[in-house]
Structure 1
Amino acid sequence: MLPDRFRNAIRSTPEFTEAVWRWDCCLYDAIISTMLPKVYTPTPFDTLDSLRTYTRELLPCIEESLRNHYPETFVLKKLTVAEVFVSKFRRHLKLNFMANDVADMIHDVPTVDNMQRDWDTIDFDNVIDQSDWLCECEPRQIKHILQFDVHNLLSANADLDCWITWIKGIVDRFMGVPTQQYPYTVKHPSYYTFYAKEFIFKWTYCTTLLTKDLSSRHASSEESFRMMQWFFDDLVLYFVEQKLSKMALYSFQDATTASPLPQALPFSSPFPTSIPQVSSVHGSPSILPPAGSNDSFGTIPKLAEPPTTSATESSPVKGENA
């Protein structure tokens, strides 16, 4: 516990609470970017298990140490940012656990050969027909992705980094983010979030149809594909959230701050109700929320109800049909 003079300073000077909160944000972002710098970070199981234990014990430890000793506002600030960190770090750990399992699986050549044989037996035309009326996807694009891209990756015994790069390329292709150099027509955050949610729905629906087809054929590699589906579905969500972060950065790019404290950026919750912003480290959504931001900004609309915009705003046009 800090000496009385420091605790009294925290009580009398609200700026101390703000400063501590922002530096906590920087600390937690540094922990994530150091321990798990990318989606697939080969890490010993004991280390991952210790990190999971750390996320379970952090909040009780903070509350026990601070409650009844510091101002309630200070305690709540510390707990709030810690809760966001714990939620985000657990998701990163889960994704890394799955990545390690999938990496081990695709290193086994007989398993991959079996997966390739089963994949080639899928009735892709039937899968595309089932998804077309609901997803309104371009059949030729989807068939090329399913029938050729996946086949080539399996036949080449591609490692997990190649698969991750392929998934990221698909997200980049269908979820382009406007930049100063290349401003896309879709600039309104609510529209972009609507398309992001729609893209995730289409992706998960198609992957479910594929595993259902394998299951109906009693494919021996069904469980292997199901493991890949779980990982890739979460990976797509992760990459889409990064896109939402970049979209927020594009929207906030003119905002400036004169504060000497760390630049405040939006944080990402497990299923965000507001758009997160990109972190300066490794492009992942950061912990810090924006200075002076409105909590209602970027609220995700219902899938069936595209957000409305004023008559002065141009209608959005997607770069490609997902």
Structure 2
Amino acid sequence: MLGGNGGNNSQGGYAHNARSSPATVQWLLDNYETAEGVSLPRSTLYCHYLLHCQEQKLEPVNAASFGKLIRSVFMGLRTRRLGTRGNSKYHYYGLRIKASSSLIRLMEDQQHLAMRQQPFSQKQRLKPVQKMEGMSNGMAAGSGQQQQQQQGAGLSDISAQVQQYQQFLDASRTLPEFPDIDLQGKVLPEGIELEHIKSFQLLYREHCEAILDVTINLQFTLVETLWKTFWRFAENRSGDTGTLAVHDECEKRLPKECLVILCKYDPVLRWSRHCDNNLYQGLVEILIPDVLRPIPSALTQAIRNFAKSLESWLTNAMMNIPEEMVRIKVTSASAFAQTLRRYTSLNHLAQAARAVLQNTAQINQMLSDLNRVDFANVQEQASWVCRCEDRVVQQLEQDFKLTLQQQNSLEQWAAWLDGVVSQVLKPYQASAAFPKAAKLFLLKWSFYSSMVIRDLTLRSAASFGSFHLIRLLYDEYMYYLIEHRVAQAKGETPIAVMGEVQTLLFFLSWWGPINSEIPIPGMHCKNSEPGH
């Protein structure tokens, strides 16, 4: 048991902090207690502390100094480092709000707020959420809370089973350090000072930490609330004292009008895109640390529903924010959502293929059918389009058959595919042509595999279904490998690479309708006469 409110919490243990009033120390002891198996976000304690200072008319210390005070009051408190500035700690383990504390009522106010933000048809089915930004009570792990669902929106909150699913996550990942905003010599906008830039950086960092925290705890539905809070979403706030306090605190640190101005400032836009790409990449690696490892269906469905809701949540929360920032944010969020959808689909294919690869009878049938494929004809036709060397294609064919014959596991197949990518792209390593060569190889791989599937189809191969499944998996996994290799070559995250694709699609969706009457070679123009 951690040290409680006993001798270790004597006034002498924290007398070194001159700005920590006895009233604040007593407030901590009155409202919090140590206990095993519970946790409390650092942002929760600090927000409660700011409210306390406001009520008592005290000057608050910064987050780092407050962290030192917490550790001196609650001796032996364990923390989890999430890479924040000043080596501060983000999550406290072994600390919770006392049942007798008035902060419990504050939590209930936040839960009612979350209920009011849902359509009426959902309110009757939605149980109170456990957290809001900066307003959260400690929750005992494995406390037997029932699963929460938002059936009307197709969303599921599996946070009550977080301990059950924790083994499938990588909760040890930290939020990388964000660089300072590079002004690149640009003049600050009118009404903006360097202090506003610094405040935006700090608020954005804290905002990203909060998103990371609720994601680790599988509280996906709270991401919308975090976005609304950060972007000062205007909604009926009367009576919601906790939310008013959070909004007012943000307003003191960075007024809304300054936030709007910064959302049009190029250096801030570039910095926000960079931070979002790093945040979302970290979230992907937390939720799906291994695309081939089996994931429970409930967790997979929750992730897919989360991805489905992201864009609408974000655009709604940023309703009154300049279009420049909205476009940057939505592009990154779209890439994040698309990545979650692709990786969960890849994982689903992997589990289906695993059963095939473990079935000796199916493997033998696949080998028999594969040996009847006319690979010489396949190569003859494909080489005209892809211009691949006969030697390389023949080697891949032999390796594929050998790996199949050895009845290798899915992980061994994945290693083989990774080796194929390394072998083919080796001549382009450290070359500016690497991304283009990698994408071209992906096209060739897809073309060749489709030619083999065509041959199997024409022969009515008994194992066609198995080959079709394996082909889908290997194409998806090859895309996954190429995506990561290109990102590594560019020195970017895979999310950033996907963001480029999303930006292109956004441009095409806007440009296409306007230019729908531009003639395309080989196709008839709109309203043109036959033969023209």
**TM-score of the aligned structures, taking structure 1 as reference length:** 0.68
Is 1:56 paired with 2:290? no
1:137 matched to 2:137: no
Aligned to 1:10: 259
Contact 1:153 1:163 in 2 (8 A): yes
Distance 1:270 1:213, change over 3 A: farther
Question: Deviation digits for residues 189-221 of structure 1, max 9, x if unmatched?
Answer: 4xx344333322321221112111111221110
Structure 1 residue 41, shift from structure 2 partner: 2.5
Alpha-carbon RMSD across the aligned residues, in angstroms, is: 3.0
Alignment of 1:76-115 (within 5 A): 76-115=327-366
- Secondary structure of 1:236 counterpart: helix
Secondary structure of the 1:137 match is coil
Give the alignment partner of residue 432 of structure 2, picking from 157, 172, 188: 188
Tell me the equivalent position of 2:454: 212
Residues 273, 25 of structure 1: CA spacing in aligned structure 2 closer, same or farther, 3 A cutoff? closer
Offset, 1:236: 1.9
CA distance in structure 2 between the aligned counterparts of 1:141 and 1:264, rounded to whole angstroms:
30
Larger RCO: Structure 1 or Structure 2 (Cα < 8 Å, ≥ 6 residues apart)? 1
TM-score for the superposition, normalised by structure 2: 0.43
2:401 to 151, 159, 168: 151
State the percentage of identical aligned residues. Answer: 22
Equivalent residue for 1:171, pick from 408, 421, 433? 421
Distance change (3 Å), C-alpha of 1:153 and 1:201: same
Tell me what 1:254 maps to: none
Measured in 1, the distance between the counterparts of 2:372 and 2:294 equals 33
The 1:270/1:215 distance shift into structure 2, 3 A limit, reads: farther
1: CA distance between counterparts of 2:349 and 2:337?
Answer: 18
Structure with the greater alpha carbon radius of gyration: 2
Going from structure 1 to structure 2, the CA distance change for 1:155 and 1:75 (only over 3 Å counts) comes to same
- Is the CA contact (8 Å cut-off) linking 1:127 and 1:209 kept in structure 2? yes
**2:519 is the counterpart of 1:268:** no
Structure richer in strand, relative to its length = 2
Q: Deviations over 1:113-165 (max 9, x none)?
A: 2212212222222222222333222223312321x212222222111111111
Note the C-alpha offset of 1:38: 3.0
Q: Is the 8 A contact 2:369 2:461 kept in 1?
A: yes
Moved more, 192-201 or 220-229: 192-201
The 3 A distance-change label for structure 1 pair 107 and 23 is same
Give the Cα separation in 2 of the matches to 1:213 and 1:137. Answer: 19
- The answer to whether the aligner puts 1:45 opposite 2:287 as a matched pair is no
Residue in structure 2 matched with residue 301 of structure 1 by the alignment = none
Contact 1:10 1:16 in 2 (8 A): no
Describe how 1:19-34 pairs up with structure 2 within 5 A. 22-34=274-286
Q: Is the 8 A contact 1:21 1:78 kept in 2?
A: yes
- Measure, in 2, the Cα distance between the counterparts of 1:195 and 1:265: 17
Q: Give, in whole Å, the separation in 1 of the partners of 2:488 and 2:273.
A: 23
Counterpart in 2 of 1:124? Answer: 375
Give the whole-Å Cα distance in 1 for the aligned partners of 2:382 and 2:279: 44
Question: Residues of 1 paired with 2:304 and 2:323: CA distance?
Answer: 28
Q: Secondary structure at the match of 2:497?
A: coil
Query: For 1:56 and 1:203, how far apart are their aligned partners in 2?
Result: 30
**Aligned partner of 1:245 among 487, 492, 496:** 487
Corresponding pairs, count: 252
Contact 1:91 1:270 in 2 (8 A): no
* Structure 2: runs of 5 or more not aligned: 1-228, 230-246, 505-532
2:402, 2:378 → 1: CA distance? 19
Measured in 2, the distance between the counterparts of 1:196 and 1:168 equals: 13
Distance (Å, rounded) in 2 between the aligned partners of 1:84 and 1:61: 15
Contact 2:425 2:438 in 1 (8 A): yes
Distance 1:19 1:227 in 2: 42
- Report Cα offsets for 1:66-125 as digits up to 9, x if no partner: 323x55554444333212211222222222222222122222222222212212222222
Report if aligned partners of 1:177, 1:247 keep a CA contact under 8 Å in 2: no
Change (3 A) 1:110 1:176: same
Q: 2-side partners of 1:204 and 1:121: how far apart? A: 21
2:466 to 220, 224, 241: 224
Alignment partners' CA distance in 2, 1:126 and 1:162: 29
